Amino acid sequence: MSLRDFFDTIGFSNFGPHYNEMLISAIGGFVGIAAIFVAGQMWFDPEISVLIVPSMGASAVLLFAAPHAPFSQPWNVLAGHAISAVIGVACWRWIPGLGVAAAFAVGLAIGAMYFTRCIHPPGGATALAAVIGSEKLHHLGFAYVLEPILLNVAVILLIAIVFNGMFKWRRYPAHWHLKSKSGEADTGEYAPINHEDFVYALSQIDTFVDISEEDLLRIYHLATERHHENSQNATDR
């Protein structure tokens, strides 16, 4: 097996964002977490605020390194953390055994986020922290949902909107920027696209794309296949 085959096997991407985009993402993460630390020191007990940072650190990766990803959108961040926090506190209160409560908290949080369409991976850490946290954190009870969780979420979301908005190619929140291009017409036909075309297109995007080129090719194949089937059915009528 060649070195390239090995990297392909383990899922190492052959393309990625440009260096300036990497730097911007790193700076955004720094600013977001710094703001949470400052807010935490001002509003909360330092011990509690420090414990919450790992959960928000994971959110920072999504908000500043993959701002276009579905998991990074405001509904996912806000509801994902809030729902997970409620579930975490409930599991700590009503399920005996630390390990069992922790497992239930993460599992139920995943299920609830799926059901409410707000999957945000860091929510699992928020639920887990509610179970394995310190006595001071446990003493908060369900107030943990509002402060520090939702207040920290509000801080990092505000930073993400302002910071990403400084760069015209960063569309955050994504739905704010869903605009059709003027003068672009639908010809009714789709030109063939091969693997090399997708690789080139992905290499030109200055952001992290959380889907492989193989999946994109599969999606394109399914879409064009359905388009041609519908066109054929319309012709036969």
In a shared domain, residues 155 and 39 = yes
Would residue 59 count as lying in a domain? yes
Q: Quick one: residue 95, left, alpha or beta (phi over 0 = left, psi -120 to 50 = alpha)? A: beta
**Domain of 201, in residue numbers:** 195-236
CA gyration radius for the chain?
A: 22
In a shared domain, residues 102 and 213 = no
In a shared domain, residues 117 and 37 = yes
Task: Give the per-residue pLDDT at 170.
Answer: 85
Neighbours of 148 (CB within 10 A): 27
Would residue 183 count as lying in a domain? no
Task: Give the per-residue pLDDT at 20.
Answer: 86
Domain boundary among 174, 205, 220: 174
Number of H helices and E strands in the chain, helices first, is: 11, 0
In a shared domain, residues 166 and 213 = no
Q: Three-state SS across 27-41?
A: HHHHHHHHHHHHHHH
Would residue 107 count as lying in a domain? yes
> Between the CA of residue 189 and those of 116, 180, 223, what are the distances in Å?
36, 18, 12
In a shared domain, residues 142 and 41 = yes
Work out how many domains the chain is built from and give that number: 2
* Rounded distance between C-alpha atoms, residue 211 and residue 197, angstroms: 15
In a shared domain, residues 148 and 37 = yes
Task: Give the per-residue pLDDT at 107.
Answer: 98
Instruction: Please give the DSSP secondary-structure letter assigned to residue 57.
Output: H
Would residue 4 count as lying in a domain? no
In a shared domain, residues 87 and 201 = no
Task: Give the per-residue pLDDT at 9.
Answer: 58
Predicted structure pTM score: 0.76
Would residue 158 count as lying in a domain? yes
In a shared domain, residues 167 and 219 = no
pLDDT per residue rounded down to tens, the chain (237 residues): 665 555 555 555 555 567 788 899 999 999 999 999 888 777 777 666 666 668 999 999 999 999 988 899 999 999 999 999 999 999 999 999 999 999 999 999 999 999 999 999 999 999 999 999 888 889 889 999 988 899 999 999 999 999 999 998 887 898 776 543 434 444 455 566 666 676 667 666 655 566 666 666 777 777 777 777 777 776 766
In a shared domain, residues 162 and 199 = no
